[in-house]
Amino acid sequence: MTSPNFHTVDIALAERSYPIQVGTGLLGTADVYVALPKASHAVVVSNTTVAPLYAEALLAALKPRYANVQLVTLPDGEVFKTWQTLNQIFDALLSEGCDRKTILFALGGGVVGDMTGFAAASYMRGVPFVQVPTTLLSQVDSSVGGKTGINHPLGKNMIGAFYQPQLVVCDLDTLKTLPTRELSAGLAEVIKYGPIADMAFLDWIEAHLDALLARDPVALAHAVRRSCEIKAWVVGQDEREAGLRAILNFGHTFGHAIEAGLGYGEWLHGEAVGCGMVMAAHLSHKLGLVDAAFVERLTQLVKKAGLPIVGPQLDAKDNAGRYLELMRLDKKSEAGDIRFVVIDGPARASVRGAPDALVREVIDACCAG
Amino acid sequence: MTSPNFHTVDIALAERSYPIQVGTGLLGTADVYVALPKASHAVVVSNTTVAPLYAEALLAALKPRYANVQLVTLPDGEVFKTWQTLNQIFDALLSEGCDRKTILFALGGGVVGDMTGFAAASYMRGVPFVQVPTTLLSQVDSSVGGKTGINHPLGKNMIGAFYQPQLVVCDLDTLKTLPTRELSAGLAEVIKYGPIADMAFLDWIEAHLDALLARDPVALAHAVRRSCEIKAWVVGQDEREAGLRAILNFGHTFGHAIEAGLGYGEWLHGEAVGCGMVMAAHLSHKLGLVDAAFVERLTQLVKKAGLPIVGPQLDAKDNAGRYLELMRLDKKSEAGDIRFVVIDGPARASVRGAPDALVREVIDACCAG
């Protein structure tokens, strides 16, 4: 390893384990990839924003190891997380004669990672892949844990697979070029890990928020590492979301309704989750599980991170009704019963239903008039 | 169990096991489904040919168990084994509010089974499903073992998943309505199990071919059961085709080239496999692995089963070159090297490469002039 500055978090899953490397100067370092399976083809999947910045370095690092190294560049954005875009990857793989040992590299944010992962899960019924996340959100959340997929016009991430990468490479240098709005969006998922799993981490985030927003590399390294550790711990216990893993969706039930209601891409995923956490905290309070001080503390932190704390209007006539309708379509719903992740103690989350009337009160209190 | 006439074959896989029920009067019997997981929605996926014959009986058997039972009818045929058709299943599931406990039932042949299985593997990252195969080919082969997927314009079954059903229900009554051509196609996969695994079964097939062609229920029951046993034994040892499972592709390398070269659906899959086995037997002979008597014996059996034994011309100028080109695109190819399943002893198959010149000789000898 030539990079002087890295740290490895291991994900231990029933079927197999893989390392998450967190550090600087990683993605262009050939040594990072030495433990990967041999193949004749390596295909890097990226998008029009990220490829010009980092594809060349990654391709160069892979060339000593793989005889055929190619780049597939997708359009950038959540609106392109569709079958049509996914099929661009399949077209490229098939027209280049890629076999079932071909290894894919997802170079980009959550959309690239989710689509490349699903392409890897499905191409010839499964080829290996590597996550090289270049956004804070994908480094702390979507690249870890094996959730892959695409959107359907009727719902987000409705089509996909649980499929684990061989390796995750979190190169902190890529965060230098991240737009501020996306940095904030990533912080939403970092903040999430506090209330659900580690209040000391929440204290740390509050104390270091200015450093994080200023992209201090030491602070970012700790935030990414600790987030990955917590996610690895949860996913290691419940890969397929039979139970515990669902707590990682804190803020996501309301958040998904916001994203779906506004149209995907209008708010960033992290922005919707930030606002969704505020709404879920309100719901937890209304259910008598946390005090008002906790709601206020979380709301202030989300706000300081540069995230919205007031939900958008999704319907002029019956806004709360529209939220409820959208949440019933959420994957976590069972037979039309919406499942909410609530906080029910320090660093403790659980999944439960709630009366519609109570949820309406929360929506009315948390949304713009 | 109200059916007096059934037999269960168990598939034992590392992650989990499931039963294959083989018998008469099964699909419309509610008791057959008692061990399946509970859910609020059950969705039967079928096609325009099979649904009118059997959907009503299956839906009636499921209604006592599931509150919402629906039917999705797809167009019939290999040419519809596409993303567009698959998406019809997703559209139906999402527009009906199907949650992640929804159970899918594949009622039809291999195309319906493969697509429904892939839909189940991918919908909300995985819901349970049941195979109710209604063709001989799907009963003895495609419904067992968890291979699911769709075709891509550049290759057959190129996009899919390994995903195991909860249960396989082989109702022999459905074979009564099967067109003769499809019965023969199914016999190709039955015959396959002899040379690769059980020469006594090959003897039995030769002795009972007339009875099988006459749809004698006792003969069919034995053929389906023994085929499922052999496939279960192979898949149980190698679910993801890391090694042994590849022997199940005997005849398929040449067969896939025929299907792709003619356009999917021109020849039935089983017809292409039947002819492909003859070609693979010739190759085995040219490699010095079997004697000419074996090639002749297999050729005669394939012919008597009503299957083609002469390969089609795929290119007027360079027929063998076209076969080779198509076979290089096969999923089993590695870095452009075609992998052939050859017979190298009684009931013994292995996977190996072969010199292009030798393969050309086989193709020239086996194809129409």
All domains of chain A in start order, with CATH: 6-177 (3.40.50.1970), 180-366 (1.20.1090.10)
Q: Which residues contact B166 (CB under 8 A, 6 or more apart)?
A: B18, B36, B37, B103, B128, B129, B130
Q: Which amino acid is at A307?
A: L
- What Rg, from alpha-carbon coordinates, does chain A have? 20
- The mean per-residue pLDDT over the stretch A242-258 comes to 92
Name the residue of chain A whose CA is nearest to B67's CA: A335
Q: Which of A192, A226, A252, A322 is catalytic?
A: A252
Residue of A210, A212, A207 lying closest to A172 (CA atoms): A212
pLDDT tens-digit series, residues A56-100: 999 999 999 999 999 999 999 888 999 999 999 999 999 999 999
Give the model's confidence band at A238: pLDDT under 50 very low, under 70 low, under 90 confident, else very high: confident
For B243, the token pair is 């090694």
Q: How much is the pLDDT for A330?
A: 78
Kindly report the length of chain A: 369
> What would the mean pLDDT of B221-247 be, rounded to a whole number?
89
Provide the Cα torsion A194, A199, A202, A208; round to 10°.
Answer: -140
Confidence of residue A15 (pLDDT cuts 50, 70, 90): low
pLDDT band at A195 (very low <50, low <70, confident <90, very high): very high
The closest CB to that of A160, out of B125, B329, B331, belongs to B125
Q: Which residues of B touch A88 (CB under 8 A)?
A: none
Q: What is the mean pLDDT of chain B?
A: 93
pLDDT digits (tens, 9 = 90+) for A213-222: 999 999 999 9
- How far away is chain A from the Cα of B212, in angstroms, using its nearest Cα? 34
- Predicted confidence band of residue B16 (pLDDT cuts 50, 70, 90): low
Overall size of chain B counted in residues = 369
In the prediction, which pLDDT does B13 show?
A: 63
* Residue A14 pLDDT class (50, 70, 90 cuts): low
Q: What is the pLDDT of residues A314-344, one digit of tens each?
A: 999 999 999 999 999 877 777 778 999 999 9
Residues of A in contact with B91 (CB under 8 A): 154
Give the C-alpha separation, B321 to B336, whole Å: 14
- Report the distance separating Cα A115 and Cα B105, nearest Å: 27
The residue annotated as part of the active site, out of B41, B256, B285, B339, is: B256
The CA distance from A362 to A275, in Å, is 12
Taking CB atoms and an 8 Å cutoff, what residues of chain B touch A243? none
Asked if the C-beta of B83 comes within 8 angstroms of chain A's C-beta atoms, the answer is yes
**Residue entry with tokens 């002469």:** B310
| Whether A190 contacts A274, CB under 8 Å | no
- The H-assigned helical ranges of B72-179 are 83-95, 110-122, 136-137
Q: Is the pLDDT higher at B333 or at B201? A: B201
Name which of A83, A148, A335 is nearest B40 (Cβ-Cβ). Answer: A335
Percent of chain B with pLDDT over 90: 83
- Residue-wise pLDDT for B172-195, tens only, equals 999 999 999 999 999 999 999 999
Mean pLDDT of A280-309: 97
Is the pLDDT at A47 greater than 50, yes or no? Answer: yes
Indicate the pairing of strand A41-47 with strand A68-74: parallel
User: Which chain B residue lies closest to A126 (C-alpha atoms)?
Assistant: B161
Q: Is the dihedral of CA A122, A128, A132, A133 positive or negative?
A: positive
pLDDT bucket at A4, cuts 50 / 70 / 90: very low
Please give the share of chain A, as a percent, with pLDDT higher than 90. 83
Within a 10 A sphere around the Cβ of B48, how many other Cβ atoms? 13
Considering the candidates A256, A285, A286, A322, report the single residue annotated as catalytic.
A256
A111 φ/ψ sector (left φ>0, alpha ψ -120 to 50, else beta): alpha
Partner-chain residue, chosen from A97, A100, A154, that has the shortest CB–CB distance to B94 = A154
CA nearest to B156 within chain A: A124
> Is A317 a known active-site residue?
no
Of A100, A120, A35, residue with least CA distance to B335:
A100
d(CA A234, CA A343): 16
Whether A233 has its CB under 8 Å from any CB of chain B: the answer is no
Helices (H), chain A: 51-62, 83-95, 110-122, 136-137, 180-197, 199-213, 217-237, 252-262, 269-286, 292-304, 319-328, 356-366
Model confidence pLDDT, tens digit, residues A136-174? 999 999 998 899 999 998 888 999 999 999 999 999 999
Distance separating alpha carbons of residues A38 and A102, to the nearest angstrom: 9
Average pLDDT, chain A: 93
Q: What does the block give as tokens for B214?
A: 């006459």
**Per-residue pLDDT tens over the stretch B136-151:** 999 999 998 899 999 9
C-alpha separations of A238 from A146, B60, B150, B176 in Å:
12, 36, 29, 46
CA distance B108 to chain A (A): 22
Interface A–B counts its CB contacts (< 8 A) at 101
Q: Annotated binding residue at A218?
A: no
CA angle A297, A301, A303 (to 5 degrees): 115
